[in-house]
Amino acid sequence: MITYFLTSVLMLLSYSSITFSNEIPDYIKLCSRNDPKVNECVRNTVHNMRPYLKNGIKELNVPAMEPLYIGDLNILDGGSAGISVKAKKLNIYGASNFEIKKIKSSNNAKRFDFELNLPSLHGEGNYEMNGQILALPLKGNGPFTGNFTNFYAYVKIIFDVENVNDVEKMSLKELRVKIRTGTGSIHLQNLFNGDKALGDVVNETINKNFELFTNEVIVPIERALEKKFSAITSNVVGSFTYDQLFPA
Ligand SMILES: *[C@@H]1O[C@H](CO)[C@@H](O)[C@H](O)[C@H]1NC(C)=O
Ligand SMILES: *[C@@H]1O[C@H](CO)[C@@H](O)[C@H](O)[C@H]1NC(C)=O
């Protein structure tokens, strides 16, 4: 999520220096890489943009953040436990209500480390579960919903700057997402083809062990977010120069 809005900031900053040079929208404040308070500056810029990120910014190809579409994911892969879990058409609501708790830029705005709080997320999609626990077949597919409170995202973004024909071009070198889970609850509908007693046992087991469970399933979500935002970030920074994105 953080990468999503950082990307959007980069898009907007760069777009504005090319197209809007006389007319930067008042919700975007450019941040100089030499500003001793560059961290505060980027934090304010990003916070002020939240309402715009929520709906997306069409002319810049920034997709709406509400909902944040994750798509299909392999959550568990069979493996030693013999249980496979897939999520389909996963959508996350509430991501645009993030708050930047910490931000650290280094190496002249070529590296950013963010810590964000996500006070309240809601997820919706479909799941497919297949496997066995002890002698019990664990099976079902159908809709699921989840509420997630007080999650944190830690994001590291590193850019490369390379001199090409006297122009300093930027590219994405590394983008990492780590999520620290909070509390919450998940409902899987139609477990065991709707057998209520068995379904309730599994639901209850998941929710009693929510932290354990989410720490397992969060890893493929982190990788999916990295992939999604790396592609966008690479496209965007590849089109602009370092000076346009982070003026001296
Ligand atoms: C999520 O929260 C909503 C609103 O408080 C509630 O109606 C719903 O049952 C909750 N869902 C889960 C999976 O806990
Ligand atoms: C658990 O699963 C059952 C069966 O699919 C569902 O009807 C029920 O609402 C769920 N209960 C809880 C507490 O999540």
Helix (H, G, I), strand (E, B) or coil at 37: coil
Kindly tell me if the per-residue pLDDT of 23 is higher than 50.
no
Give the pLDDT band (50/70/90) at residue 146: very high
Question: What pLDDT sits at residue 150?
Answer: 95
Mean pLDDT over 163-172 rounds to 88
Nearest-CA residue for ligand 2 atom 1 is 200
Write 103-106 long-range contacts (CB < 8 A, 24+).
103/39, 103/42, 103/43, 104/39, 105/33, 105/38, 105/39, 105/42
Mutate to test the pocket of ligand 1, among 145, 189, 203, 214 (most ligand atoms within 8 A of CB): 145
2-245: CATH homologous superfamily? TULIP domain (3.15.10.30)
Q: What is the pLDDT of residues 220-242, one digit of tens each?
A: 888 888 887 787 677 767 767 78
* pTM of the predicted structure, to 2 decimals: 0.78
Mean pLDDT over 174-198 rounds to 89
Give the pLDDT band (50/70/90) at residue 45: confident
Question: What pLDDT sits at residue 40?
Answer: 93
* 63 DSSP assignment: -
Instruction: Give me the sign of the Cα torsion angle 21, 27, 28, 34.
Output: positive
Return the CA Rg of the chain.
Answer: 21
User: Which ligand is closest in space to the CA of residue 188?
Assistant: 2
* Of 24-28, 146-150, 170-174, the least confident: 24-28
CA 133 / ligand 2 centre spacing (Å): 18
For the Cβ of 188 lying below 6 angstroms from any atom of ligand 1, the answer is: no
The tokens for 170 are 């930027």
Nearest-CA residue for ligand 2 atom 11 is 200
Residues lining ligand 2, judged by CB closer than 6 Å?
187-191, 194, 196, 199-200, 203
Q: In the chain, what are the domain boundaries? A: 2-245
Question: What pLDDT sits at residue 24?
Answer: 46
Report the chain's mean pLDDT, rounded to a whole number.
82
Mutate to test the pocket of ligand 1, among 93, 122, 127, 147 (most ligand atoms within 8 A of CB): 147
Question: What pLDDT sits at residue 18?
Answer: 43
User: Which ligand is closest in space to the CA of residue 205?
Assistant: 2
Among residues of the chain, what percentage have pLDDT more than 90? 33
Question: Who has greater pLDDT, 65 or 37?
Answer: 37
Phi, psi of 7 (to 5 degrees): -55, -45
Kindly tell me if the per-residue pLDDT of 142 is higher than 80.
yes
Kindly tell me if the per-residue pLDDT of 144 is higher than 80.
yes
Q: What is the pLDDT of residues 70-119, one digit of tens each?
A: 899 888 787 666 788 899 999 999 988 999 999 999 998 899 999 999 99
Query: Which amino acid appears at position 218 of this protein?
Result: I
Question: Who has greater pLDDT, 15 or 130?
Answer: 130
Question: What pLDDT sits at residue 21?
Answer: 33
Nearest-CA residue for ligand 2 atom 10 is 200
